[in-house]
Amino acid sequence: WQTDQPVPLLKNVQRLTAPNPGMMTGPGTNSYLVGDPRTGYLVIDPGPADPEHLHKLWRAAGGDIRMIVCTHSHADHSPGAKPLQALCAVAPPILGLPSQPTARANSEFTPERELADGERLILQCASHQHTLHVVHTPGHAANHLCLVLEEDGLLFSGDHVLNGSTTVVDPPDGHMTDYLESLDKLLNACEQLHIQFILPAHGYVLGNVWGEAHDARACIAHLKAHRLKREAKIWAVMQQHPEGSMDDWVKHAYDDVPSKLWPVAKRSLLAHVERLRAL
């Protein structure tokens, strides 16, 4: 996929990538348009408040945006919601979950309406509809949620499942046990909602990658196994270096990761350490 044009994944989904590439965002934040000209469109993760990107989203939807949903409140996902809303002749509601007191100052977000776990958002016309099923998935952020396009078997995973890297779990707003339990919740959703592919907020579509993984469920199971393997390595390092600092532990537990990434890895290390100490 090119990152500067709206590209159909299926006939009911387009993806535009915001021009905010970086170490934490990969190629940039993926914004998704769900719907068609007859039903209007729902926008998932408008991204940063970048005028050019938001105008591209608006034009790709023909100006007919019915809802804006933020998977969570981080600064590369939610700030574009209000300026995108302002572009529309009829203001679409901004939906999601409010940031919690544990969130960092630049991740404050209050939706116009709070989404309930299991709620279904529907775009429809006389002949057909697009149904997005809401799944609360705390862990990466306390207010994180995912969406499943039921008719097409697509999971919009926000930052909970990424392609090319594992997401950062940064306490106190990030919580490792919540993250792992949310992965289990997504595994169940794969069975119940017949999910075939995962569309992450950073990187490209998942479903037949990661070695022997051939479907969305296998990708999520692989990710959980990777997290637990890392946790076992962290536990071994903590036992071997009981007086070590976080800096000592990260260089041993993440010795397979470039050292330039250790400051970021240390945030997830802390989340694992807190989880291990609570077990």
CA 137 from centroid of its chain's CA atoms: 9
Question: 220 CB contacts (<8 Å, ≥6 apart)?
Answer: 161, 183, 186, 187, 190, 198
Query: Looking at the predicted structure, is the pLDDT value of residue 8 above 60?
Result: no
Listed ranges 102-106, 202-206, 211-215; the one with the highest mean pLDDT: 102-106
Per-residue confidence (pLDDT) for residue 9, from 0 to 100: 54
pLDDT tens readout for residues 66-77:
999 999 999 999
Q: What is the pTM of this model?
A: 0.93
CA 57 from centroid of its chain's CA atoms: 19
